């Protein structure tokens, strides 16, 4: 059933309801990992990345791909196995260690001198580097710049009041002519407090429109029993391609 037809006005609306003031602390995210409340993790990877991988890679090899708020995303292993260099950032050390252990990948751990308390976990093969710190501690001087981004569960997890800060950082981390695949979610924000947070298309244009060409690639009905329990009538995943123009 296509729930997107139930509320067409909301899909393009810019009202994020009471979510505007919602704040989820770093401690709350760490707690989710500690107790295994990670329903956002996809064990089999995300079908939209599989479907649009060629759009992200554009036929190129050896790209630097960034995974913001990466968790233990299995797609990091996919892209590394294809010969790309993967960099992720995640506040939960447990998530990063789980990633390496679940894929039987040997790794080394070292401090990041520029970041107080920051750590970097790197596969011994050298092509997966995962930073354990706040994403806002990163800069291009620490991690360099990227040819591509897979943003699923990142922008939608950032506190709404921090979106401008997040977008500014991402823009500074992107190379010219780079590609940014962004997955947002669409639902009635007056019926669920988030996360994941509702991010309207108008806000994506406001955040990134000055330096990107923005294209909506697909809207997918992802409504499930979980969303019904949240009190929702529909839940969509919306995939955008952001192309950073030279």
Residue 32 tokens, joined: 């989710």
Say whether 45 counts as a known binding-site residue.
Answer: no
Say whether 67 counts as a known binding-site residue.
Answer: no
Q: Is 43 helix (H, G, I), strand (E, B) or coil?
A: coil
Say whether 90 counts as a known binding-site residue.
Answer: yes
Say whether 69 counts as a known binding-site residue.
Answer: yes
Say whether 206 counts as a known binding-site residue.
Answer: no
Say whether 79 counts as a known binding-site residue.
Answer: no
- With a CB cutoff of 8 Å and minimum separation 6, the contacts of 6 are 233, 234
Beta-sheet strands, E only, within 68-111: 85-90, 107-111
Pick left, alpha or beta for residue 143 (phi over 0 → left; psi -120 to 50 → alpha; otherwise beta).
alpha
Say whether 152 counts as a known binding-site residue.
Answer: yes
Say whether 142 counts as a known binding-site residue.
Answer: no
Say whether 35 counts as a known binding-site residue.
Answer: yes
Say whether 33 counts as a known binding-site residue.
Answer: yes
Say whether 218 counts as a known binding-site residue.
Answer: no
- With a CB cutoff of 8 Å and minimum separation 6, the contacts of 168 are none
For residue 219, count CB atoms less than 10 angstroms from its CB and return exposed for 0-12, middle for 13-18, buried for 19 or more: middle
Say whether 119 counts as a known binding-site residue.
Answer: no
Say whether 37 counts as a known binding-site residue.
Answer: yes
Give counts: helices (H), strands (E), the chain. 9, 9
Which residues make beta-bridge pairs with 67?
A: 88
Structural contact between residues 126 and 64, judged by C-beta atoms closer than 8 angstroms: no
Say whether 169 counts as a known binding-site residue.
Answer: no
Pairing of strands 212-221, 146-152: unpaired
Structural contact between residues 146 and 121, judged by C-beta atoms closer than 8 angstroms: no
Say whether 30 counts as a known binding-site residue.
Answer: yes
- Sole residue written with tokens 């909301």: 10
Say whether 232 counts as a known binding-site residue.
Answer: no
Say whether 62 counts as a known binding-site residue.
Answer: no
Binding-site annotation: residue ranges for S-adenosyl-L-methionine: 29-40, 69, 90, 134-135, 152
Binding-site annotation: residue ranges: 29-40, 69, 90, 134-135, 152
């Amino acid at each position: 059933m296509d729930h997107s037809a139930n509320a067409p006005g909301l899909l393009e609306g810019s009202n994020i309801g009471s979510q505007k003031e919602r704040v989820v602390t770093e401690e709350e995210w760490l707690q989710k990992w500690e107790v295994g409340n990670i329903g956002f993790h996809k064990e089999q990877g995300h079908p939209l990345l599989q479907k649009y991988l060629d759009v992200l890679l554009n036929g190129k090899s050896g790209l630097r791909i960034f995974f913001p708020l990466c968790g233990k995303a299995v797609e990091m292993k996919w892209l590394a196995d294809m010969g790309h260099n993967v960099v992720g950032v995640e506040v939960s050390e447990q998530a990063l260690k789980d990633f390496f252990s679940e894929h039987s990948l040997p790794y080394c751990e070292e401090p990041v001198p520029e970041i107080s308390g920051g750590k970097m976990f790197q596969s011994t093969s050298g092509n997966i580097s995962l930073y354990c710190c706040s994403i806002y501690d990163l800069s291009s001087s620490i991690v360099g710049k990227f040819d591509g981004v897979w943003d699923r569960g990142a922008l939608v997890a950032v506190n709404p009041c921090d979106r401008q800060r997040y977008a500014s950082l991402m823009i500074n981390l992107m190379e010219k002519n780079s590609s940014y695949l962004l997955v947002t979610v669409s639902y009635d924000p007056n019926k669920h407090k988030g996360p994941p947070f509702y991010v309207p298309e108008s806000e994506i244009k406001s955040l990134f429109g000055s330096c990107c060409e923005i294209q909506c690639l697909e809207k997918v009905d992802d409504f499930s029993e979980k969303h019904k329990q949240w009190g929702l009538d529909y839940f969509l995943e919306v995939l955008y391609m952001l192309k950073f123009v030279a």
